[in-house]
């Protein structure tokens, strides 16, 4: 699959920014039908690789970028900035960002992994999901249950240390669940604490992925909105100092600033 992407990974990973070339768009009657049909194909193909035990990092990047390309073909536009910040640190980092939709979970591996080996902290219910579960479980995630915050915190600290020692960066979404709104009060400090405990930098991620909203019946299947641009912005690496409260605020301010720049200020609750 990856070999069919014609330099796609390098276009994103080796430059500081990326914008969708509108030549990638296809004239389709129903963007959502076109995309979900192709998403199912990618997921089924990837699950076969998982069952054979050969779903490696190349296949992960390939399937992630294939999904991104299918979104572009369905009419969505991507605007990615700050990729150069990933290359400023040689070792692993903690990525901390807001969490709007399924889109970032599926697309971020194709953006980050070619530059830095990365894993995600994910909910157990995602691993149990028949379609996405096998793929999610195959790439060394840290799986939390969300029923006991104390146990989840200890698990993240213990397993996070192991992943970082293996050279893997970690994506942390501090909000309790994915939502288009940014509420500072629900944005926990787990990522900051993990970075401080392991003496690794933090890189903020601001994103606007509400072009793929949550579905009314099935949460992961919402109607695509090609009128909305998909934004990803990576901030400057930060060393966590003291209690980390200053860096926590900087992450929040970075996300708020970007949402305002992108015309999504209405999504900021506080």
Which range has the worst mean pLDDT, 6-10, 35-39, 131-135, 198-202?
6-10
- The values of phi and psi at residue 257, to 5°, are -60, -45
- Delimit the domains of the chain by residue range: 77-267
pLDDT at 186 over 80: yes
What is residue 225's predicted lDDT score, i.e. its pLDDT?
96
pLDDT at 156 over 80: yes
What is residue 96's predicted lDDT score, i.e. its pLDDT?
98
**Topology of the domain comprising 77-267:** Rossmann fold (3.40.50)
Tell me the three state secondary structure of residue 206: strand
Distances in whole angstroms, Cα of residue 266 to Cα of each of 78, 81, 270: 20, 22, 10
Mean pLDDT, rounded, for 24-42: 94
What is residue 176's predicted lDDT score, i.e. its pLDDT?
76
pLDDT at 69 over 90: yes
pLDDT at 120 over 90: yes
Confidence of residue 193 (pLDDT cuts 50, 70, 90): very high
> What residue ranges in 51-209 does DSSP mark as E strands?
78-81, 94-97, 118-123, 142-144, 169-172, 202-208
Mean pLDDT, rounded, for 125-148: 84
What is residue 123's predicted lDDT score, i.e. its pLDDT?
86
Mean pLDDT, rounded, for 253-268: 97
What is residue 8's predicted lDDT score, i.e. its pLDDT?
53
pLDDT at 3 over 70: no
């Amino acid at each position: 699959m990856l070999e069919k992407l014609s330099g796609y990974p390098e276009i994103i990973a080796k430059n500081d920014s990326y914008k969708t070339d509108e030549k990638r768009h296809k004239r389709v009657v129903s963007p959502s039908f076109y995309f979900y049909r192709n998403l199912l194909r990618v997921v089924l193909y990837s699950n076969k690789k998982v069952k054979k035990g050969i779903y490696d990092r190349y296949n992960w990047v390939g399937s992630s970028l294939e999904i991104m390309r299918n979104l572009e073909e369905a009419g969505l536009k991507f605007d990615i900035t700050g990729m150069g910040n990933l290359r400023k640190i040689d070792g692993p980092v903690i990525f901390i960002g807001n969490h709007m939709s399924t889109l970032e979970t599926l697309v971020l591996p194709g953006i980050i992994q070619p530059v830095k080996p990365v894993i995600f902290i994910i909910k157990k219910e995602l691993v149990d999901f028949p379609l996405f579960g096998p793929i999610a479980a195959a790439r060394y995630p840290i799986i939390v249950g969300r029923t006991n915050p104390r146990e989840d915190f200890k698990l993240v600290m213990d397993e996070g240390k192991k992943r970082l020692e293996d050279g893997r960066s970690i994506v942390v979404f501090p909000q309790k669940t994915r939502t288009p709104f940014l509420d500072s009060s629900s944005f926990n400090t787990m990522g900051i604490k993990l970075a401080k405990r392991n003496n690794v930098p933090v890189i903020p991620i601001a994103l606007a992925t509400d072009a793929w909203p949550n579905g009314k019946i099935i949460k992961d299947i919402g109607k695509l909105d090609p009128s909305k641009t998909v934004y990803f912005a990576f901030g400057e690496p930060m060393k966590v100092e003291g209690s980390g409260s200053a860096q926590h605020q900087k992450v929040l301010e970075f996300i708020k600033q970007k949402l305002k720049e992108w015309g999504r200020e209405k999504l900021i609750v506080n």
